[in-house]
């Protein structure tokens, strides 16, 4: 194989061209270097498949081409084409949307505005809702925003705004009137409470997508100032286990590798340090390691630090491990990358993230402007991952409308995860055992079999 990085490059090219997932996807490889490519794909969570299977991707290194479901990877085209392609690969959210009757409801979608969010907005409107869309200037795909406007959506997303003008635009979006808000980061939920708490009094409630959003909302609840019901979408297993770990892990690490390559730097040219070992940090660490980086972890939680060591990562103090390293912040906490870390790091990037996660750039090369690198420099999380996350959003919305709970942060029941996961397995044609068939009596029998048959 003349180019030892050919396997990594063709995988990243597939992800960049399609915005599709590697983990959980059937794959086949051929050509010179196929053993290295096979190992890379397996390390990323791909499933070797010698026979055609739904969603199978085939990599031909000799021909330098990629096939998806037996056909050349299609060009997605303009924003409308990217939205259509995303919808084609979001069957779980489509199935969950089909269960809803949203006739007459005013629903606001306040999320990163890219093709998957557009699909969610379309699904909501098709179920009868009046849907308005908001996105922060730094989280707006202009083409997608215009495509939604062409479809008749009210879209508040202007990349030229900042400061007071942006705040005014967000408040105007809120004051137009909502029954339900689907939020990401709880930015608009918090703004409504801060500027005019009466704005939320007419809401049925909200659904919050992220860890960084639920944390302040729980503080508001503890302080007695949260005035609306909020469904904790992020806490569902089918959200956090997949979106945070596999989705953010792949999209951020691939975006970092793409940006480094543009600057003539290979990902394997320096050690990597992951700050934080929650679901996002785990995903980032695993994907960095799969691409060949020497990965270390710094974590303030002793249990997570111990877990990182058992997962095979060296751990220690961030400042001591950051020297000459690619440092990736995966905490969602402001000022994680301190001046002391930045001054010794070679490269700094943020995975997921909140504003100000890099407090000082020091002398390091900061990728993606210090924002969430998969958003500022890529197309966000892969389509199938957001299919799961938005399916959870739709299930949470269904639960919210059915229960109408009072103010507070509310967990989703386990039946939501069961429904979403079973639907996802079904569309992938993956069979599932019935636990009762495996142990028909044991599920209901609490008695210990060790002492069976003894005298009373």
pLDDT digits (tens, 9 = 90+) for 115-155: 999 999 999 999 999 999 999 999 999 999 999 999 999 99
Flag whether the pTM goes above 0.95.
no
Q: What Å distances lie between residue 223 and 70, 142, 185, 200, 220, CA to CA?
A: 56, 38, 19, 17, 5
Same domain, 91 and 223: yes
pLDDT tens per residue, range 235-261 = 999 999 999 999 999 999 999 999 999
* Mean pLDDT calculated for residue range 350-357: 85
Cβ-contact 274, 295 below 8 angstroms: yes
Q: Which of 47, 72, 97 is the last residue of a domain?
A: 72
1 pLDDT more than 60: no
Same domain, 30 and 119: no
Residue 455 has a pLDDT of 61
User: Please, which pLDDT band fits residue 83 given cuts at 50, 70 and 90?
Assistant: very high
Does the residue 448 lie in any domain?
A: no
pLDDT at 361: 77
Tens of pLDDT, residue by residue over 391-447, are 999 999 999 999 999 999 999 999 999 999 999 999 998 888 887 776 665 666 777
Per the domain annotation, does 134 fall within a domain?
yes
What is the domain range of residue 67? 6-72
213/250 same-domain check = no
Extract the tokens encoding 284: 């980032």
For the chain, give the percent of residues with pLDDT over 90: 87
Lowest mean pLDDT among 3-7, 42-46, 70-74, 374-378: 3-7
In a domain, 452, yes or no: no
Residues 43 and 162 in one domain: no
Say if residue 225 is in the same domain as residue 84. Answer: yes
Read off the pLDDT of residues 85-114 as tens digits, 9 standing for 90 and up.
999 999 999 999 999 999 999 999 999 999
Please tell me whether residues 250 and 371 are part of one structural domain. yes
Q: How confident is the model at residue 212 (pLDDT cuts 50, 70, 90)?
A: confident
pLDDT at 270 over 90: no
Average pLDDT, the chain: 94
Q: Are residues 287 and 393 in the same domain?
A: no
The enclosing domain of 317 has a CATH number of 3.40.50.720
Identify whether residues 252 and 372 lie together within a single domain.
yes
Give the pair of three-digit tokens for residue 425.
């397995």
Residue 323 lies in a domain: yes
Residues 133 and 221 reside in one and the same domain: yes
300 and 359 fall within a common domain = yes
Q: Which residue has the higher pLDDT, 362 or 302?
A: 302
Q: In whole angstroms, give the CA distance from residue 354 to residue 330.
A: 10
Give CA–CA dist 234/113, Å, rounded: 18
Per-residue pLDDT, 453: 67
308 with 325, same domain: the answer is: yes
DSSP 212-242: HHHHHHHHHHHHT---SEEEEGGGSHHHIII
Number of domains in the chain: 3
Query: Among 72, 100, 130, where does a domain finish?
Result: 72
Are 330 and 367 found together in one domain?
yes
Average pLDDT score over residue span 159-174: 96
């Amino acid at each position: 194989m003349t180019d030892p990085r050919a396997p990594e490059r063709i995988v990243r090219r597939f992800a960049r061209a399609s915005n599709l997932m590697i983990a959980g996807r059937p794959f086949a490889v051929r050509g010179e270097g196929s053993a290295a490519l096979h190992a890379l794909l397996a390390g990323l969570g791909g499933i070797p498949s010698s026979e055609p299977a739904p969603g199978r991707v085939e990599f031909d290194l000799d021909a330098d081409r990629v096939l998806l479901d037996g056909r050349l990877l299609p060009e997605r085209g303009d924003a409308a084409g990217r939205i259509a392609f995303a919808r084609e690969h979001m069957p779980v959210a489509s199935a969950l949307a089909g269960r809803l009757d949203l006739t007459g409801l005013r629903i606001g979608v306040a999320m990163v505005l890219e093709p998957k969010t557009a699909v969610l907005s379309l699904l909501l409107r098709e179920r009868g809702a009046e849907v308005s869309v908001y996105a922060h200037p730094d989280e707006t795909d202009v083409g997608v925003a215009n495509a939604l406007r062409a479809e008749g959506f009210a879209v508040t997303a202007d990349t030229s705004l900042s400061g007071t003008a942006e705040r005014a635009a967000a408040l105007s979006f809120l004051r137009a009137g909502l029954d339900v808000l689907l939020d990401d980061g709880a930015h608009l939920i918090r703004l409504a409470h801060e500027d005019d708490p009466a704005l939320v009094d007419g809401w049925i409630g909200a659904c919050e997508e992220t860890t960084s959003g639920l944390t302040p909302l729980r503080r508001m609840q503890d302080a007695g100032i949260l005035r609306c019901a909020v469904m904790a979408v992020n806490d569902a297993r089918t959200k956090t286990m997949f979106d945070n770990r596999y989705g953010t892990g792949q999209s951020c690490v691939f975006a970092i590798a793409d940006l480094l390559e543009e600057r003539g730097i290979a990902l394997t040219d320096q050690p990597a340090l992951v700050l934080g070992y929650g679901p996002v940090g785990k995903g980032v660490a695993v994907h960095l390691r799969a691409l060949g980086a020497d990965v270390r972890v710094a974590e303030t939680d002793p249990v997570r630090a111990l877990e990182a060591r058992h997962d095979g990562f060296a751990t220690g103090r961030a400042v001591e491990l950051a020297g000459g390293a690619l440092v990736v912040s995966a905490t969602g906490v402001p000022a994680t990358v301190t001046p002391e870390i930045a001054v010794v790091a070679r490269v700094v990037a943020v995975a997921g993230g909140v504003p100000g996660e890099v407090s000082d750039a020091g002398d390091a090369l900061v990728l993606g402007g210090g924002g969430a690198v998969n958003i500022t420099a890529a197309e966000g999380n892969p389509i199938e991952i957001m299919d799961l996350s938005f399916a959870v959003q739709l299930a949470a919305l269904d639960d919210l409308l059915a229960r109408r709970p009072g103010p507070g942060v509310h967990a989703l029941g386990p039946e939501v995860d069961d429904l979403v996961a079973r639907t996802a397995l079904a569309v992938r044609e993956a069979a599932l055992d019935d636990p009762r068939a495996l142990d028909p009596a044991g599920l209901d029998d609490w008695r210990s079999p060790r002492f069976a048959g003894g005298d009373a």
